Structure 1
Amino acid sequence: MDIRYPVVLEPEAGGGFFVRFPDFDDVFSEGPTRDEALCNAIEALSGMLAFKLENGHDIPRPEAVSPDADAVAPDAKVQAALLVRFARGTRSLAEVARALGTSWPSARRLEDPAHWPSLKSLDRVAAVMGKKLVLSFE
C-alpha cells in the first residue's frame, strides 16, 4: 500500500506556497519555495498522523494520487505504524497479539509511531494479516 497523501500547493500573494491536504481539514503548511513547502508538509503530516495514532483516532486511507499531482508520505516510523493499522482492519490488537504469540503491549508497539519495529517484526505481522512485506526506495 502506498502511504502518500495528496497535497495542494497554492501560490501566496507575497511569494511562497500554502499547502493543504484534501484528506485532512486540520493539516496545512507553507514554505518560501515549492521544495521547502513540500518538506514542511511532510513534517506537518507526520506530526498529525502520529498524534492520531497515539490517541486512537480514525485515519483515512490516502486518496488515489494522479501521476501529475503532488503527494507526500509521512516519515518511516509513521508509515510503518499506519501500514500495521490499515492491515489490521477490524481485528483487535488482542487478536493480533495472539496470532503473533506475543503480548498486547508488544502488538500495540507496532502501531506506535515513536517505536522502530524491526523488519522481522513487520514481516511477521504482515504474514499474520495475510499480506507480504515489500520495501522500496524512491
Structure 2
Amino acid sequence: MNTCYPAVFEPQEPLGFVVQFLDIEEAFTQGDTFDECVFNGAEVLTALLQIYLEDGREIPRPSENVKDAYHIAPDARVQSALLIRWARGDRSLAEIARTLETSWPSAQRLENPHHWPSLKQLDKVASVLGKKLVLSFE
C-alpha cells in the first residue's frame, strides 16, 4: 500500500511554486525552492491527514502513475495509522483487539496519528490483517 500522494508544482512569478495535492483538494502550500515545497507539502499533508484520521473521515488513496507529479509522504505516525486503517477495511477495532488479544483502547491507538506504535506492534497487526510489514528508506 502506498502512502505517497501526488502533488503538482506550479511555478510562480517572480520565484517559487504553488504545490497542490491532486487527491486532497484542501492540501496545498507554496515555497521558494523545490526542497522547501517538498518540506512544506509533507507538513500540510501530515496535518490534514491527522485531522481526517481524528474525525474518522474517509481518506482517499493516493492516485498512481500521475504524469509530471511529485509524490510526497506524510510523517511516519500518519503513514502507520493510514496503513492500518486501510488494511483493516471493514473489520471493527473490537475484532482487531480480540484477535491481537489486547484491549479496545490499545487497538484504537494503532490508528491514532499521535501514537508511535512499535515495530513489534506493527508486525503483529500486519500479521493479524493478513499482511506483511515491509520497511523502506527513501
Q: Into which bin does the TM-score normalised by the smaller protein fall?
A: over 0.9
CA contact (8 A) 1:65 1:71 kept: no
In the alignment, is the contact (CA less than 8 A) between 2:8 and 2:68 conserved in 1? Answer: no
In 2, the alpha carbon distance for the partners of 1:87 and 1:60 equals 14
Corresponding residue for residue 37 of structure 2: 37
Number of residue pairs the alignment of both structures matches: 138
Give the aligned partner of residue 119 of structure 1.
119
Instruction: Find the aligned partners of 2:131 and 2:47 in 1 and give their Cα distance.
Output: 27
Shift, 1:14, TM fit: 2.6
Say which is worse superposed, 65-74 or 96-105, in terms of deviation.
65-74
Q: Secondary structure, in 3 states, of the residue corresponding to 1:107?
A: helix
Runs (4+) of structure 1 exceeding 4 A deviation are none
Percent sequence identity over aligned pairs = 58
2:87 corresponds to: 87
Structure 1 regions of 5+ residues with no counterpart?
Answer: none
C-alpha RMSD over aligned residues: 1.2
* TM-score of the pair, normalised by structure 1: 0.96
Query: 1:77-108 CA distances to partner (integer Å, 9 max, x unpaired)?
Result: 11011110110011111111111111110000
Tell me what 1:76 maps to. Answer: 76
* Distance (Å, rounded) in 2 between the aligned partners of 1:62 and 1:51: 17
5+ residue gaps in structure 2? Answer: none
Q: How much has 1:111 moved relative to structure 2? A: 0.3
Q: State the TM-score, normalizing by the size of structure 2.
A: 0.96
Distance 1:95 1:23 in 2: 30
Q: Please tell me whether residue 109 in structure 1 is matched to residue 109 in structure 2.
A: yes
